[in-house]
Amino acid sequence: MNLSLFIAKRYFFSKKKSFINFLSIAAFIGVLVGTSSLIIVLSVFNGLEDLLKSLYINFNPEIKIVSNNSKYFNKNKDHINKINEIDGVDFVSKVIEDRAIASYNGSEIPVYIKGVDSSFILQKRLNKNIVEGNFTLKKDNSSYAVIGRGIKYKISLNLKDNFNNLILYSVSPDFSFIPSGIQKQPFNQLSIIPSGVFAIEQQIDNNYIISSLTFAEKLFKKKNKITALELRVNEKKDNNKIKTEIRNIVGNNYNVLTIEEQHSDLYKILKTEKLIVFIIFSFILIISSFNIFFLLSMHAIDKKRDLSILLSLGLNEKSIKKIFYFESIIISVLGILIGCFLGILLCVLQNEYGLVSLGMETAIIKYYPVKVKFADILMIVSIVFFISIIASIKPALIAVQKINLNLLNNK
């Protein structure tokens, strides 16, 4: 065994009860708690990010294609066929999404109409989110709609009401305030039968009504036009790689958005908060590393006589420094290993048993979601190890200086 490592182990695992021994335990606990805390906190942010994706994935696609030049664009069958041939693309849905006014039994509210084609229905994306009625958009030549739960509450809609239909108004594209256009009807009006109610997320529930694409074309008078192509992508495939292939097909006139880019503001806030928390906990780790610094400094002073003897017996200054480096490594490695184990264990228990609840009855989930990522653990281990090594440099230099000074005094 390396002599410097052997001595470092003896120093750290010393059975002698002293203040230095207390500092050893404090330094070890500081690394352990800092490591486990970072793993838990970052895993909570990972869990929240996954929760957002799971909430939006049923309503918003993994990849969305929109025009850079105008809101509506023509259905390009050639583009759609080529996109369908991309490995990893399971479905391509044609969509019209635009604003309208919903009226029911004297109540009126602004809404978004999302008209979807048959491929959206085949995906059964909203089946688990239907809380009342069923997901039906067309039956016996009649048009049906599935509405958000927030809209239902706002207009007091009753699905079993056979006397009042839901009436939707959209601004007519032919209407304008110039003399030739002012004679046109300002609104298009169509009635639709509510078939079901969905609940996904409050912002979506309060604003969206889903209809068939054919109905949306009639309401907005946009025959053979769409506002977006929505893609369902295989979970095992890389969205960014598929995005690049789509860009090569559609060109620069279209914008290809992943689900993160569709909700860029929300994801930026989450990632910024995660970064800030990581920096704060890193500073806490730096502060806790002072325990290692003081421990090794005290060892350098306390053991100067023993180290002077070792130097006299032929141990060089480099080996003396290694004693303190190895002692710092022992503290950090043990703290990291046990800290990682405890952090991961608590995350697993949180997922299985929900140790910590959100404390809100109206929350989508009852407990904090967590997801441990290997990349986070690797980053945490690297930073903790780096801080611990830095904390050992100065004490090692102090030890050599004290030994040399002790030898000079003896002479």
Q: Tell me whether residue 136 is exposed, middle or buried, using C-beta atoms within 10 angstroms of its C-beta: 0 to 12, 13 to 18, 19 or more.
A: middle
Three-class SS state of 105? coil
DSSP conformational letter for 96: E
Say how far apart CA 388 and CA 386 lie, in whole Å. Answer: 5
Main-chain dihedrals φ then ψ at residue 361, nearest 5 degrees: -70, -30
Segment 9-34 shows an average pLDDT of 75
Segment 193-200 shows an average pLDDT of 91
**CA distance readout (Å), 365 to 23, 51, 55, 97, 130:** 42, 9, 11, 29, 17
- pLDDT at residue 238, as a whole number: 83
- pLDDT at residue 360, as a whole number: 64
Reported confidence tier of residue 272, pLDDT bands at 50, 70, 90: confident
- Tens digits of per-residue pLDDT, 239-266? 888 999 999 998 888 999 988 888 888 7
Reported confidence tier of residue 152, pLDDT bands at 50, 70, 90: very high
- Tens digits of per-residue pLDDT, 57-83? 778 888 999 998 889 998 888 988 999
- Tens digits of per-residue pLDDT, 282-295? 887 777 777 777 77
Neighbours of 179 (CB within 10 A): 7
- pLDDT at residue 407, as a whole number: 44
- pLDDT at residue 94, as a whole number: 92
Reported confidence tier of residue 408, pLDDT bands at 50, 70, 90: very low
Q: Are strands 107-116 and 208-212 parallel, antiparallel or unpaired?
A: parallel
Mean pLDDT of the chain: 82
Reported confidence tier of residue 154, pLDDT bands at 50, 70, 90: very high
Q: How many degrees, rounded to 5, is the angle at CA 271 between CA 266 and CA 276? A: 125
**Is residue 200 within 8 Å of 128, Cβ to Cβ?**
no
Say how far apart CA 208 and CA 210 lie, in whole Å. Answer: 7
SS in 3 state form for 337-377? HHHHHHHHHHHHHHHHHCCCECCCCCCCCCECCCCCCHHHH
